[in-house]
């Protein structure tokens, strides 16, 4: 097992910066395995050390998994010289964690966005080979019909000739549909509707795998995923058929 300096372990947990962690250790507010450490340089294994601050155990796992309710008007990027990004919505502690968005939502798209610093996790969510379904609610400026449903299910060809994998469309109202895609091409859902002559006027992601956007989260709010929710991302059924009684 790799050993890591105590101040770094605390900083990696996101509760404090490296210098704040050193100060916490110096002031005797930190215990490791029930004992007050003398130095910030002491090394421990993140897997086994029980680290407490003021008696509260902190999580030393370096991997973070955040669910964000992305508001419209914010970029899905880690930084931008002019515009606000989803990382700017996070607390200063989380901004130090090397988080990045798992795939991108367009600036005007709202809904479920995952943020992590776990590259393997992100790859598994995004890779078309893993077939993790993403469920969107789309409002369009035309009337949806059975020919659209059929075309989505057969795999659409976009305006530039790009071939899409078969997707699912369920019509909720004449101009509102639920779309499930298993890949994440650039502006994919908007371009799929455009290939059917329909312009998307609003797009909201509701679900990734079997993980729903928490309805308690208002736009701009976020929270950590539980272990069960991380697993749910990869535990999906046919989510268009099981769409949470969407009306
Ligand atoms: N498809 C789009 O067109 N835009 C998004 O933001 C996500 C999927």
Per-residue pLDDT tens, the chain, 247 aa: give them.
789 999 999 988 878 889 999 999 999 999 999 999 999 999 999 888 999 999 988 877 678 899 999 999 999 999 999 999 999 999 987 887 889 999 999 999 999 999 999 999 999 999 999 999 999 999 999 999 999 999 999 999 999 999 999 999 999 999 999 999 999 999 999 999 999 999 999 999 999 999 999 999 999 999 999 989 999 999 976 544 445 455 5
The 3-class SS string of the chain reads CCCEEHHHHHHHHCCCCHHHHHHHHHCCCEEECCECCCCCCCEECCCCCCEEECCEECCCCCCCEEEEEECCCCECCCCCCCCCEHHHHCCHHHHCCCCEECCCCCCCCEEEEEEECCHHHHHHHHCHHHCCCEEEEEEECCCCCHHHHHHHHHCCECCCCCECCCCEEEEEECCEEEEEECCCCCCHHHHHHHCCCCCEEEEEEEEECCEECCCCCCCCCEEECCHHHHHHCCCCCCCCCCCCCCC
pTM of the model: 0.80
Answer yes or no: are the C-beta atoms of 1 and 18 closer than 8 Å: no
The Cα 241–Cα 14 span in angstroms is: 39
Closest atom of ligand 1 to CA, residue 104: 6
**Spacing, Cα 190 to ligand 1 middle (Å):** 6
Catalytic annotation, residues: 106
Ligand 1 first shell, C-beta below 6 A: 105-106, 109, 187-190, 203
| 70, 111, 162, 190, best to mutate for ligand 1 pocket (most atoms within 8 Å of CB) | 190
Which ligand 1 atom lies nearest to the CA of residue 191? 3
Nearest atom within ligand 1 for CA of residue 109:
6
């Amino acid at each position: 097992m790799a050993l890591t300096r105590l101040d770094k372990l605390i900083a990696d947990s996101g509760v404090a910066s490296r210098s704040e962690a050193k100060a916490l250790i110096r002031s005797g507010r930190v215990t490791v395995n029930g004992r007050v450490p003398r130095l910030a340089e002491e090394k421990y294994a993140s897997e086994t050390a029980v680290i407490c601050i003021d008696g509260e155990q902190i999580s030393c796992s370096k991997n973070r998994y955040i669910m964000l309710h992305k508001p419209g008007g914010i970029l899905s990027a880690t930084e931008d010289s002019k515009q606000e990004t989803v990382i700017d919505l996070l607390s200063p502690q989380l901004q130090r964690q090397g988080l990045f968005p798992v795939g991108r939502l367009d600036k005007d798209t709202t809904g479920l966005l995952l943020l992590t610093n776990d590259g393997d996790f992100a790859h598994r969510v995004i890779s078309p080979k893993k077939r993790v379904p993403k469920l969107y609610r789309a409002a369009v400026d035309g009337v949806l019909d059975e020919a659209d449903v059929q075309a989505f299910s057969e795999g659409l060809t976009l305006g530039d000739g790009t071939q899409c994998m078969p997707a699912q469309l369920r019509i909720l109202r004449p101009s509102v549909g639920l779309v499930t895609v298993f890949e994440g091409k650039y502006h994919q859902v908007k371009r799929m509707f455009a290939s059917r002559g329909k312009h998307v006027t609003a797009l909201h992601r509701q679900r990734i795998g079997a993980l729903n956007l928490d309805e308690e989260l208002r736009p701009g709010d976020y929270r950590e995923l539980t272990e069960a929710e991380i697993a749910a991302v990869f535990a999906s059924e046919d989510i268009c058929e099981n769409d949470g009684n969407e009306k």
